[in-house]
Amino acid sequence: MSRMESLRKAYGEQLADSGANDQRIVTLEADLGKSTMSCLFQDKQPERYFQVGIAEQNMASIAAGLALTGKVAFINSFAVFATGRAYDQIRSSIAIPRLNVKICGSSAGLSDFGDGKTHQSIDDIALMRVLPNMTVLSPVDAVETKQMVEAMVDHDGPAYIRINRNDLPVLTDGNEPYYIGKMSRMRDGKDVVVFASGVMVSLALEAAEQLESHGISIRVVNVSTIKPLDTKALANYCEGMKGVVTAEEHSIHCGLGSAIAEALGSSRLPITFLGINDTFGTSAKNYDELMERYGLTSEGIVKKVHEVLEA
Amino acid sequence: MVYEESVLKRLRRISAQLRLDILEMIPPGKVGHLGGSSSIADVVAALYFHHMRVNPKDVADPKRDRLVFSKGHAVLAQYAALVELGIVDRSELPKVKTLDGVLQGHPDMDKTPGIEAVTGSLGQGLSISVGMALALRLDGSDSRVYTVCGDGELSEGQIWEAAMAADVFKLDNITAIVDWNGIQATGCTAEIFGIGKLADKWNAFGWNVIEIDGHDMVSILQGLESAKAHKGQPSVLLAKTVKGKGFSFAEGKAAFHNAGLTDEQFAQGREEMRKMLQEVDA
> What domains does chain A contain, in order, with CATH numbers?
4-169 (3.40.50.970), 183-310 (3.40.50.920)
For B120, the closest of A57, A68, A92 (CB atoms) is A92
Q: Any chain B CB within 8 A of the CB of A70?
A: yes
Say how far apart CA A26 and CA A69 lie, in whole Å.
12
Residue of B nearest to A95 (CA): B118
Residue B241: other Cβ atoms inside 10 A:
26
Say how far apart CA A101 and CA A72 lie, in whole Å.
6
Beta pairing partners, A18: none
pLDDT category of residue B112 using cuts at 50, 70 and 90: very high
pLDDT category of residue B58 using cuts at 50, 70 and 90: very high
The residue among B61, B73, B124, B149 with the most chain A CBs within 10 A of its CB, best to mutate, is B124
Residues of A in contact with B164 (CB under 8 A): 53, 55
The answer, yes or no, to whether the previous bond of A228 is cis (omega within 30 of 0) is yes
pLDDT in tens, B200-234: 999 999 999 999 999 999 999 999 999 999 999 99
The end-to-end CA distance of chain A, in Å, is 33
Say how far apart CA A19 and CA A24 lie, in whole Å.
8
* pLDDT, position A311: 85
Q: CB–CB of B117 and A65 under 8 A?
A: yes
Is residue A99 within 8 A of residue A64, CB to CB? The reply is yes
What is the four-CA torsion angle of A109, A115, A119, A123, rounded to 10 degrees?
30
The residue among A45, A49, A51, A68 with the most chain B CBs within 10 A of its CB, best to mutate, is A68
Say how far apart CA A140 and CA A186 lie, in whole Å.
11
For B127, the closest of A48, A53, A58 (CB atoms) is A58
With a cut of 90, say whether residue B281 has pLDDT above it. no
Residues of A in contact with B138 (CB under 8 A): 26, 47-48, 71
pLDDT in tens, B140-176: 999 999 999 999 999 999 999 999 999 999 999 999 9
For B128, the closest of A48, A50, A93 (CB atoms) is A93
State which amino acid sits at residue B40: I
User: Residue B10 to residues A78, B38, B162: CA-CA distances in angstroms?
Assistant: 53, 18, 35
Contact residues for B52 (Cβ-Cβ < 8 A; gap 6+): B64, B65, B67, B144, B146
**A156 to chain B, closest Cα gap in Å:** 15
Q: Any chain B CB within 8 A of the CB of A274?
A: no
User: Which ranges of chain B would DSSP assign to H, the alpha helix?
Assistant: 5-24, 34-39, 41-46, 76-84, 125-138, 157-168, 189-193, 198-204, 217-229, 263-281
The arithmetic mean of pLDDT across residues B71-80, rounded, is 98
Q: Any chain A CB within 8 A of the CB of B132?
A: yes
Q: CB–CB of B165 and A47 under 8 A?
A: no
**A64 to chain B, closest Cα gap in Å:** 6
* pLDDT, position A222: 98
Residue of B nearest to A98 (CA): B110
Say how far apart CA B155 and CA A252 lie, in whole Å.
37
Residue pairs spanning A and B at CB distance below 8 A: 105
3-class secondary-structure state, position B212: strand
Q: CB–CB of A68 and B117 under 8 A?
A: yes
User: Residue A166 to residues A9, A35, B174: CA-CA distances in angstroms?
Assistant: 10, 11, 42
For B128, the closest of A68, A88, A96 (CB atoms) is A68
The arithmetic mean of pLDDT across residues B92-107, rounded, is 97
**A170 to chain B, closest Cα gap in Å:** 37
* pLDDT, position A259: 98
With a cut of 80, say whether residue B236 has pLDDT above it. yes
Is residue A171 within 8 A of residue A140, CB to CB? The reply is yes
Q: Any chain B CB within 8 A of the CB of A69?
A: yes
ipTM: 0.97
Say how far apart CA A93 and CA B119 lie, in whole Å.
7
* pLDDT, position B263: 98
Is residue A76 within 8 A of residue A27, CB to CB? The reply is yes
With a cut of 90, say whether residue B275 has pLDDT above it. yes
The H-or-E segment that residue A64 falls in is helix A56-68
For B5-281, CATH gives 3.40.50.970
Q: Are strands A135-137 and A101-106 parallel, antiparallel or unpaired?
A: unpaired
For A66, the closest of B62, B120, B135 (CB atoms) is B135
Q: Are strands A218-223 and A192-196 parallel, antiparallel or unpaired?
A: parallel
Say how far apart CA B70 and CA B164 lie, in whole Å.
17
Residues of B in contact with A63 (CB under 8 A): 131
Q: Any chain B CB within 8 A of the CB of A205?
A: no
Put simply, the chain B residues between 43 and 72 with a CB less than 8 A from any chain A CB are 62
**B63 to chain A, closest Cα gap in Å:** 11
3-class secondary-structure state, position A134: coil
Q: Any chain A CB within 8 A of the CB of B129?
A: yes
Q: List the beta strands (DSSP E) in A125-242.
A: 135-137, 159-162, 168-169, 183-187, 192-196, 218-223, 225-227
Say how far apart CA B246 and CA B20 lie, in whole Å.
10
Kindly report the average pLDDT of chain B as a whole number.
97
Q: CB–CB of B117 and A69 under 8 A?
A: no
Say how far apart CA B7 and CA B17 lie, in whole Å.
15
3-class secondary-structure state, position A117: coil
Count of residues for chain B?
Answer: 282
Is residue B95 within 8 A of residue B103, CB to CB? The reply is yes
**What are the residue numbers of the active site of A?**
56
Q: CB–CB of B127 and A67 under 8 A?
A: no
For B134, the closest of A50, A91, A92 (CB atoms) is A50
Phi-psi region of B244 (alpha: psi -120 to 50; beta: other; left: phi over 0): left
3-class secondary-structure state, position B112: coil
Burial class (CB in 10 A: 0-12, 13-18, 19+), B168: middle
pLDDT in tens, chain A (311 residues): 689 999 999 999 999 999 999 999 999 999 999 999 999 999 999 999 999 999 999 999 999 999 999 999 999 999 999 999 999 999 999 999 999 999 999 999 999 999 999 999 999 999 999 999 999 999 999 999 999 999 999 999 999 999 999 999 999 999 999 999 999 999 999 999 999 999 999 999 999 999 999 999 999 999 999 999 999 999 999 999 999 999 999 999 999 999 999 999 888 899 999 999 999 999 999 999 999 999 999 999 999 999 999 98
User: Residue A69 to residues A87, A149, B96: CA-CA distances in angstroms?
Assistant: 22, 21, 27
* pLDDT, position A2: 87
State which amino acid sits at residue B5: E
The residue among A62, A99, A133 with the most chain B CBs within 10 A of its CB, best to mutate, is A62
Contact residues for A124 (Cβ-Cβ < 8 A; gap 6+): A79, A80, A82, A83, A84, A105, A108, A160, A162, A250
Q: Residue-wise over A113-139: b if at least 16 C-beta within 10 A, else e? A: beeeeebbbbbbbbbbbebeebbbbbb
